Amino acid sequence: MTIAITHLSRRFAEFRALDDVSLSIAPGEFVALLGPSGSGKTTLLRILAGLDFPDSGELTQDGRDLLRVSARDRGVGLVFQHYALFRHMTVFENVAFGLRVRPRARRPSKAEIADRVDRLIKRVQLDGLAQRYPAQLSGGQRQRVALARALAIEPGLLLLDEPFGALDAQVRISLRRWLRHLHEELHLTTVFVTHDQEEALELADRVVVMNRGRIEQVGTPEEIYQQPATPFVFEFIGKSNKLPVRIQNGRLVAGDQRLDADGLDGAADAGAIAYVRPEHLALTPTPLESGWRATVRHIYLAGSIAHVELDVPSLGQSLEAELGGEEAQRRALQPGAAVTVQPRHLTVFPIDGKTGEPDPERRRVAHPRYGQAALARWR
Amino acid sequence: MARRVLPGFGLSLGYTLAYLGLIVFLPLAALAVKASGIGMAGLWKTISAPPVLAALRLSFGAALLSAVINAAVGLLVAWVLVRYTFPGRRLVDALVDLPFALPTAVAGIALTALYAPNGWIGSWLAPFGIKVAFTSLGVLVAMIFVGFPFVVRTLQPVLEALDRDVEEAATSLGASRLQTFVRVLFPLLLPALLTGFALALARAVGEYGSVIFIAGNIPMKSEILPLVIVKQLEQFKYADAAAVGVVMLVLSFLLLLAISLLQRWSRRWAER
Domain CATH for B169 = 1.10.3720.10
Contact B174 A153 (CB under 8 A): yes
Ramachandran category for residue B12: left, alpha or beta (phi over 0 → left; psi -120 to 50 → alpha): alpha
Residues of A in contact with B270 (CB under 8 A): 87, 133, 135
Q: Which residues of A touch B267 (CB under 8 A)?
A: 88
The terminus-to-terminus CA distance of chain A in angstroms comes to 47
Q: Give me the mean pLDDT over the A69-97 stretch.
A: 94
| Cross-chain CB nearest to B169 (options A84, A90, A135) | A84
Nearest to A86 among B166, B271, B272 (CB): B166
Task: Report chain B residues touching chain A, CB-CB < 8 A.
Answer: 163, 165-166, 168-176, 179, 183-184, 187-188, 267-272
DSSP state of B147: H
Structure confidence at residue A300 (pLDDT): 87
Instruction: Find the range with the poorest average confidence among A146-150, A166-170, B118-122.
Output: A166-170
Amino acid (one-letter) located at B196: G
Output the pLDDT for position A379. 58
Averaged pLDDT for residues A172-180: 88
Among candidates A143, A348, A378, A171, which has minimal Cα distance to A251? A348
Sorted by where each starts, the structural domains of chain A and their CATH numbers stand as: 3-233 (3.40.50.300), 239-374 (2.40.50.100)
- Residue of A331 and A277 predicted with greater confidence: A277
| CB-based contact, A69 to chain B, within 8 Å | no
* CA dist., res. A368 & res. A363, Å (int): 16
Q: Could you tell me the pLDDT band of residue B272, with boundaries at 50, 70 and 90?
A: low
Q: Round to whole Å and give the CA distance between A95 and A115.
A: 11
pLDDT in tens, A191-216: 999 999 999 999 999 999 999 999 99
| pLDDT score, position A266 | 79
Q: Mind listing the pLDDT tens digit for each residue in B238-251? A: 888 999 999 999 99
Residue B162 lies in a domain: yes
Which among A71, A90, A136 has CB closest to B172?
A: A71
B119 residue type, one letter: G
CB A148 within 8 A of CB A124: yes
CB-CB under 8 Å, B163 with A82: yes
The domain total for chain B is 1
Q: Does the beta-carbon distance from B270 to A87 stay under 8 Å?
A: yes
Question: Is residue A332 scored above 80 in pLDDT?
Answer: no
Give the confidence band of B61 by pLDDT, cuts at 50, 70, 90: very high
pLDDT at A378 over 70: no
Judging contacts by C-beta atoms under 8 Å, the chain A residues touching residue B158 are none
Nearest to B165 among A77, A80, A153 (CB): A80
Q: Do B269 and A84 touch (CB under 8 A)?
A: no
Q: pLDDT digit string (tens) for A223-238?
A: 999 999 999 999 999 9
Q: Is there a contact between A51 and B165 if contact means CB atoms under 8 Å apart?
A: no
pLDDT digits (tens, 9 = 90+) for B161-220: 998 899 999 999 999 999 999 999 999 999 999 999 999 999 999 999 999 999 888 888
Residue B24 in any domain: the answer is no
Mean pLDDT value of segment A294-322: 90
Q: What's the rounded Cα separation, in Å, for the pair B208 and B108?
A: 9
Residues 100-119 of A with CB under 8 A from B: 101-102
At A373 the pLDDT is 67
Compute the average pLDDT of residues B19-31: 90
> pLDDT: is A288 or A319 the higher one?
A319
Q: For residue B100, give every residue at least 6 positions away whose Cβ sits within 8 Å of its Cβ, in sequence order, or none.
A: B149
Q: What integer pLDDT is reported at residue A5 of this predicted model?
A: 95
Q: Does the distance separating the beta carbons of B176 and A101 come in below 8 Å?
A: yes
- Segment A285-312 mean pLDDT: 88
pLDDT at position B1, please? Answer: 53
Q: Which of A52, A78, A101 to mutate to test the interface with B (most CBs of B within 10 A)?
A: A101
Is B5 a domain residue? no
The candidate with the shortest Cα–Cα distance to A124, out of A149, A99, A101, is A149
Cα separation of A94 and A111, whole Å?
Answer: 16
Residue A173 confidence (pLDDT) above 60? yes
Please indicate, yes or no, if residue B3 is contained in any of the structural domains.
no
Nearest CA to A79 among A169, A167, A170? Answer: A167
Pairing between β-strand A292-302 and β-strand A305-312 as defined by DSSP bridges: antiparallel
Rounded to an integer, what distance in angstroms lies between the CA atom of residue A209 and that of residue A213? Answer: 10
Q: CB pairs under 8 A, 24+ apart, for B75-82?
A: B75/B151, B75/B155, B75/B189, B75/B193, B77/B152, B78/B151, B78/B152, B78/B155, B78/B156, B78/B159, B79/B155, B79/B159, B81/B152, B81/B156, B82/B156, B82/B159, B82/B160
Domain that holds residue B161: 40-270
Does the interface predicted TM-score (ipTM) exceed 0.90? no
How confident is the model at residue A215, as a pLDDT? 96
CA torsion, ordered A340, A341, A344, A349, to nearest 10 deg: -140
Which residues, 6+ apart, have CB-to-CB distance to A99 below 8 Å?
Answer: A107, A108, A113, A116, A117, A152, A153
> At residue B152, does pLDDT exceed 80?
yes
- pLDDT confidence of residue B163: 87
A72 in contact with B, Cβ within 8 Å: yes
Is B82 part of a structural domain of the chain? Answer: yes
Q: Is B226 exposed, middle or buried (0-12, 13-18, 19+ CB in 10 A)?
A: buried
Chain A residues with CB inside 8 Å of B173's CB? 97-98, 101, 149-150, 152-153
Mean pLDDT of chain B: 91
Q: Is residue B132 part of a domain?
A: yes
- Indicate whether B39 pLDDT > 90: no
Q: Which residues of A307-339 are buried (b: 16+ CB within 10 A; e: fewer)?
A: bbbbebeebeeebbbbbebeebeebebeeebeb
Report yes or no on B73 lying in a domain. Answer: yes
- Please check whether residue A269 is in contact with residue A249, taking contact to mean a CB–CB distance below 8 angstroms: yes
In this predicted structure, which of A327-341, B178-192, B247-261 has the lowest mean pLDDT?
A: A327-341
The answer to whether residue B140 is domain-embedded is: yes
Q: What is the nearest CA distance from B173 to chain A, expressed in angstroms?
A: 5
Percent above pLDDT 70 for chain A: 99
Are B173 and A136 in contact (CB < 8 Å)?
A: no
